[in-house]
Structure 1
Amino acid sequence: MTTEPSPTTAEATLGPNGTAPRAVRRIYVANLVAQGAIIVTGGVVRLTGSGLGCPTWPRCTEGSFVPTPEQAEGFHKLIEFGNRTLTFVLALLAVAAIAAALWDAARRRRVGLPARPVLTRLALVPFLGTVAQAVLGGITVLTGLNPLVVGAHFLLSMALVLLCTMLVHRAAEPADEPVVDVVRREIRIGVHVLTFVMALVITVGVLVTASGPHAGDAETPRLGLDPQVVSWLHADLVFLAIGLLAGLIVALRASRADTHDVGHDAVVVLLLMLGQAGIGYVQYFTGLPWVLVAFHLLGSVLVWWATARLLLRTRRRGVQWTAQPAGAAV
């Protein structure tokens, strides 16, 4: 006769209702935060013209991995070196995520719960993404801050934010099956469309930056597009996203899906979008001061994260999802 683990033991081992342990989820959250942080610090490197503060890669100078007093790059070398150092922090967190996922999988097997290989695969993403970013960062330096390479650097980071958000969310679910939609099919399709539009907003925003004064210092090549025209296109896509989201909020209220917190998540996205749009217009009409541009960059990360969370929250997984357990929010 086998003895089933008591709810208290199972909860301590696997978290509420069989979710990943709290310590494991904190490691995943740390990876998500770090991915967002390196986007902002990388933006500060570009906004202050510090992209070549360390003129060689992987060394900062030909003979040193760290900045030297003899360098002519001044404070730029410290900003660029700080951003490179954060890459090593990302690497450590990425390794911790893999170790946490393997440990969690072993603990699940020990108490007789189904394995969740999706979590192990998602836990590999921060490490693989950090390696890819390190290589792409080297290419960025070697190509003299080519705007297309810099843009690819940013878009890869945003893809990693999306996947790390998925990792955090899935770790807070007790199982992978069954999958239950908590909103009407039409609304879920609408949220998918919203996510696609937001991806376009981000991509066109990259083109705006690559064509404007904050693509780098005076010697940094620009993309050659008309900054005003690209900015208008970027703004039009933002208005489209806001209008689509407003319609989704009305539909969520009408379908009473807000009882599952999806409506609340949609309102959070809308507020972040409006704040982001406000910063965008202020920076445009005040000559693009770099501090406002940095806040706009932070806003883009927050809006993208909130949009990803909204998409993930439109469905739930796991046989024990009768009510939202504590800690399920991303």
Structure 2
Amino acid sequence: MAKLFRRFGILTIITVIVLIFVGGIVRATGSGMGCPDWPKCFGMWVPPTHVDQLPQNYQQVFGAKLKGEVVFNAVKTWIEYVNRLLGVLTGFFIFLTFIFSFIAYRFSQPKIVILSFVSFLLVAFEGWLGSKVVSSELHPVLITVHMLVSLLLLGILIMVILKSYQIQFNRKKPEKLSAISFLLIISLILSIGQIIFGTQIREGIDLIQKALGYELRNEWIQSVKGKVVFHAILAFVLLGLQLFIAKNIRKKDATDFVNKWIRFITFSILVSICSGGVLSLLGFPAFVQPIHLGFSVIIVSLQFVVYFLLEPDLI
């Protein structure tokens, strides 16, 4: 059962990362209000594919809160609907992860069970928060909180799975590298800050988009140019810190397993920087935005993994 818990837990972590990636697609395509109500979509459990499937007065019915600005768009509706379905699937996976943890570890490692239950509570809270995001017409603060809760949920799930492997870690435990662990914490905080700051940039883009429209997409960047430059500077600071960490870990003869994850982090930071450059130069193309966000989340996930490998007694 322990092996099943680990495999299913890893699948759950991947699902959460994919959900955040899909959330980025929702944001990039402006599909957040593709379904104007919650939990149903245009009053249906399976949304329509054509406007003819809606009543003629659907704008008045669903647009009361949105000032009558509901315009049915099948693509946006289904992007948001798939996002919701994936959210439900993630919740189901996390619930099963908790059940498997209870069966496998309720006596031997109760902390795993407790943390698995906390993750289940968090995903329920995240679902409720998602409904508030819709009802608030995509309030920027709620969107940011929604992202932070997702990162917290992801971190707890990673911690739970790594905790279940702790016996293996202790068999070949690398030298404790307190100074490097501290730098990893700084790097992790910086990465999370970058995600939050990126969210703020996106909110600025949303505001200017309403003012200028999609036709002047290339001019959006000018409205947030200062923030974008600062965001880019922090990205290179993060890269430099990561290269310094990688160099010092190699000097300390850490295990190949740790060095492998370090290389993955460095690669992900480089991809994130490149995708950010494309966003700046090409006027925030929608297809690049979820890639940029997705790799940012992967960076945070891998940083947490490396930190736990260096500090297996964390929990």
* TM category, shorter: 0.7 to 0.9
| Deviation (angstroms), 1:67 | 1.2
Match of 1:270 in 2: 266
| Deviation (angstroms), 1:227 | 1.6
Contact 1:180/1:315, CA 8 A, preserved across alignment: no
Q: Helix, strand or coil for the counterpart of 2:133?
A: helix
Match of 1:73 in 2: 72
| Deviation (angstroms), 1:263 | 2.6
> In the superposition, relative to structure 1, how do residues 105 and 303 fare at CA in structure 2: closer, same or farther (>3 Å)?
same
- Choose the corresponding residue for 2:40, options 52, 59, 82: 59
> In the superposition, relative to structure 1, how do residues 32 and 260 fare at CA in structure 2: closer, same or farther (>3 Å)?
same
Aligned equivalents of 1:141 and 1:217: distance in 2?
Answer: 19
Give the structure-1-normalised TM-score: 0.79
Aligned equivalents of 1:105 and 1:185: distance in 2?
Answer: 30
Corresponding pairs, count = 284
Aligned equivalents of 1:185 and 1:127: distance in 2?
Answer: 32
| Deviation (angstroms), 1:181 | 6.3
Q: Does 1:30 align with 2:11?
A: yes
| Deviation (angstroms), 1:87 | 1.8
Query: What CA deviation, in whole Å up to 9, does each residue of 1:95-134 have, x standing for no partner?
Result: 101110111025xx5xxxxx21111022123321221111
Q: Does 1:152 align with 2:145?
A: yes
Larger CA deviation: 284-293 vs 83-92: 83-92
Contact 1:195/1:311, CA 8 A, preserved across alignment: no
Contact 1:194/1:241, CA 8 A, preserved across alignment: yes
> In the superposition, relative to structure 1, how do residues 292 and 179 fare at CA in structure 2: closer, same or farther (>3 Å)?
same
Q: Does 1:237 align with 2:228?
A: no
Q: Does 1:248 align with 2:241?
A: no
> In the superposition, relative to structure 1, how do residues 247 and 177 fare at CA in structure 2: closer, same or farther (>3 Å)?
closer
Q: Helix, strand or coil for the counterpart of 2:312?
A: strand
Give the structure-2-normalised TM-score: 0.82
Match of 2:66 in 1: none
Match of 1:169 in 2: 162
Q: Counterparts of 1:74-223 in structure 2 under 5 Å?
A: 74-75=73-74, 76-105=76-105, 109=107, 115-174=108-167, 182-213=175-206, 218=210
Q: Helix, strand or coil for the counterpart of 1:50?
A: coil
- Runs of 5+ consecutive residues of structure 1 not aligned to the other structure: 1-12, 14-20, 110-114, 220-224, 319-330
Q: Could you say what the CA RMSD is over the residues aligned between the two structures, in angstroms?
A: 2.6
Q: Helix, strand or coil for the counterpart of 2:288?
A: helix
Contact 2:169/2:309, CA 8 A, preserved across alignment: no
| Deviation (angstroms), 1:55 | 0.6
| Deviation (angstroms), 1:262 | 2.2
| Deviation (angstroms), 1:217 | 7.2
Aligned equivalents of 2:192 and 2:30: distance in 1?
Answer: 26
> In the superposition, relative to structure 1, how do residues 238 and 97 fare at CA in structure 2: closer, same or farther (>3 Å)?
same
Contact 1:177/1:317, CA 8 A, preserved across alignment: no
> In the superposition, relative to structure 1, how do residues 99 and 234 fare at CA in structure 2: closer, same or farther (>3 Å)?
same
Contact 2:195/2:293, CA 8 A, preserved across alignment: no
Runs in 1 of length 4+ with deviation above 4 angstroms?
Answer: 175-181
> In the superposition, relative to structure 1, how do residues 142 and 217 fare at CA in structure 2: closer, same or farther (>3 Å)?
farther
Aligned equivalents of 2:293 and 2:188: distance in 1?
Answer: 18
- Choose the corresponding residue for 1:296, options 292, 297, 306: 292
- Runs of 5+ consecutive residues of structure 2 not aligned to the other structure: 59-70, 212-221
| Deviation (angstroms), 1:285 | 0.3
The one-letter code of the counterpart of 1:100 is: F
Contact 1:151/1:210, CA 8 A, preserved across alignment: no
> In the superposition, relative to structure 1, how do residues 160 and 179 fare at CA in structure 2: closer, same or farther (>3 Å)?
farther
Q: Helix, strand or coil for the counterpart of 1:212?
A: helix
Aligned equivalents of 2:41 and 2:89: distance in 1?
Answer: 17
Contact 2:25/2:289, CA 8 A, preserved across alignment: no
> In the superposition, relative to structure 1, how do residues 226 and 279 fare at CA in structure 2: closer, same or farther (>3 Å)?
same
Q: Helix, strand or coil for the counterpart of 1:316?
A: coil
Aligned equivalents of 1:252 and 1:177: distance in 2?
Answer: 18
Q: Helix, strand or coil for the counterpart of 2:163?
A: helix
* Percent of aligned positions that are identical: 22
| Deviation (angstroms), 1:216 | 10
Contact 1:204/1:233, CA 8 A, preserved across alignment: no
> In the superposition, relative to structure 1, how do residues 234 and 308 fare at CA in structure 2: closer, same or farther (>3 Å)?
same
Contact 1:49/1:217, CA 8 A, preserved across alignment: no
